[in-house]
Structure 1
């Protein structure tokens, strides 16, 4: 009998089957946080609602040589670094962008999208618990669960994983809520490694369950095994926080406010990270030690931020404005923040843990020559701490995005995803 979870998880609308759209359940936050009644608010934070749409479609084919790429100087902001300003200024195609350190908070957040209403009160209790009967092969040292929502999805599950019925889950925390419940359940007790993956794992990674298990077995001794189903992002974005700016309205500004409220160092939001630090989709298989540290870390960060955020900003972060393209069943900003906290954790409370990034050969084969060169160029810049090479990477990256995404996309996003300073994140 498969284990069941009766709490929150995303029902992704994009499927490969002939089924009607999945109806997401009503949001019911898990964290027991009271909204301050009348704390000082940021005026004009949510003055006008804005419709934020996806960028223009990518061109079908790249030009064969870098030299033929279109000039992106009209939209590419400047990159300044204290250690090598002269080298950066020599990049004529990169335009200077003024930056005010004394910007009034009201002005900084005035253009944020509007939340549809206040965050509802929460009771702090999980809706349901896993079924008392654990899954088969309870003695297996590696236990990987696969989440599904409807009966027809079960036939697509991988035989190497344990089916996990998540159809009654409505938590805005999505996968993280599943992790929290599994950690307390008998189904994971005694396991050396465990995790919970999406029913779309094979579709997103191009990998079968047996292949994942083999990579884990062939590389023993790590506390957490993770992967990035979107390696195309590794060469064109500074880090996963910057990548979120093109996927969710005003993501970087909201992340900055979240960081400040949670007491985190917001330099991480613009730091150049190596491709080894890119992780998406919460695809983790990890030891009990990892889960015992990671889950409390995320909960503490979320609760602290909720307590300190301005009420209007908090309501916005817990709103469905995050899913303006309707790709995530009306998800709030919370799950997109949580999945990016993984590397924050690994550099802080999890710095004593060992992580292994699982290779995804099928996804790697999909990368064109420019994406591979951009990734390598950025990784070398990070490894050598070369501000000059990092600035060259930004220039090449901007030219590439101008060619592939078009002028409208670049005018909308390129300045926002190009920090005005070169900062390197820790490995």
Structure 2
């Protein structure tokens, strides 16, 4: 009923999560695409038609969520009427950024323009700058979702596959070249996978007949990676929860969230400049990024 695949792409690599299914990647000819390439390949092979729910989870699923695969599968079984189930490994970001693109632009400057140029070139009608709020009911990073065959057809087949086809057919197009340029990350990575992971919440927030989506309940304070994140969440939580309940985010609230997102990113870059990041084990200096200069003075 539920098939969550874990990609095995290195020689000698073994399955991290025993509840998941191994997916041997023998033709990793686009490693810079990350999970995007595998999701598209799974769709083209029809793997999403073999089970009620299908997903692709990184070997870092447990590290990032603190969950076992069995726990998440139990959650999906308990929500079998849904069309898509997900777990967000960064629930604290709902109290720091208005949506995935506000956070993304601060984390990866230039991300929004690159994403929009690629979407326009592919003919996908998503206006990134006009996207609504992504609250806890929609927010999901890292592609930690499982969907029905219909969800795969609508989202992967309708959004991700056209992007992949354009990238494959027009590698020299400026939009294609730009999304493959490197952004600051541990380890260094191109913009493309960070665009793709943000399309999931974007898609859920835009569809006229939204699929029935269920998110694994998480406590944002428990997912904070440091005390600064916890302080930001505690400071913003009541105000943001109230805005989510009413559906009204004033310009002042959005401005404050943008500032919080900028401060959070500056702190993250500085704090992990010479400290190991808990999800990667590396620092920004260790990957050659050096210690960044804060933008806010």
Contact residue 48 and residue 152 of structure 2 kept, 8 A: no
Structure 1 Cα separation of the partners of residues 46 and 178 of structure 2: 37
Judge conservation of contact 1:273–1:382 (CA < 8 Å) in 2: no
Q: Distance in 1 between matches of 2:113 and 2:44?
A: 35
The alignment status of 1:292 with 2:150, answered yes or no, reads: no
**In 1, Cα distance between equivalents of 2:63 and 2:55:** 18
2:193 maps to 335
Secondary structure in structure 2 of the residue aligned to 1:411: coil
Q: Deviations along 1:271-307, whole A, 9 cap, x unmatched?
A: 4432322111111111111111112212235656999
Identify the residue that residue 354 of structure 1 maps to in structure 2. Answer: 212
**Is residue 211 of structure 1 aligned with residue 71 of structure 2?**
yes
Q: Secondary structure at the match of 1:409?
A: coil
Q: Which residue of 21, 29, 43 maps to 1:183?
A: 43
Answer whether contact 2:96 2:260 (CA < 8 A) is retained: no
Mapping for residues 381-392 of structure 1, pairs under 5 Å: 381-388=243-250, 391-392=252-253
Alpha-carbon spacing, 1:348–1:200, altered in 2? closer, same or farther (3 Å): same
Q: Distance in 2 between matches of 1:393 and 1:187?
A: 41
Q: Report the TM-score when normalising by structure 2.
A: 0.73
Selected match of 1:264 from 125, 128, 133: 125
Where 1:225 maps in the other structure, the secondary structure is strand
Structure 1, gaps ≥5 residues long:
1-140, 413-427
> Which of 102, 110, 113 lines up with 1:253 in the alignment?
113
Aligned length: 265
Q: State the partner residue of 1:411.
A: 296
Distance 1:195 1:400 in 2: 29
More helix by percentage: 2
Contact 2:83 2:212 in 1 (8 A): yes
Quote how far apart the aligned CAs of 1:257 are. Answer: 3.1
Q: What is the TM-score normalised by the length of structure 1? A: 0.53
1:159 aligns with 2:18: yes
Q: State the 1:243 CA deviation.
A: 1.2
Helix, strand or coil at the partner of 2:153: helix
Residues 97 and 260 in structure 2, CA contact (< 8 A), matched pair in contact too: no
Shift of the 166–411 alpha-carbon distance from structure 1 to 2, 3 Å rule, reads same
* Greater relative contact order, per chain length (Cα 8 Å cut-off, separation 6+): 1
Deviation at 1:215, TM superposition (A): 1.0
Change over 3 Å in CA distance of 1:398–1:225 after alignment to 2: same
RMSD between aligned residues: 3.5
Considering only CA atoms, is the larger Rg found in Structure 1 or Structure 2? 1
Summarize deviations over 1:82-139 as a string: whole Å, max 9, x none.
Answer: xxxxxxxxxxxxxxxxxxxxxxxxxxxxxxxxxxxxxxxxxxxxxxxxxxxxxxxxxx
Give, in whole Å, the separation in 2 of the partners of 1:402 and 1:360: 24
Report how far residue 204 of structure 1 moved.
1.0
The structure 2 residue matched to 1:169, chosen from 1, 4, 28, is 28
Specify whether residues 184 and 312 from structure 1 end up closer, same or farther in structure 2 by C-alpha distance, changes over 3 A only.
closer
**Map of 1:231 onto structure 2:** 91
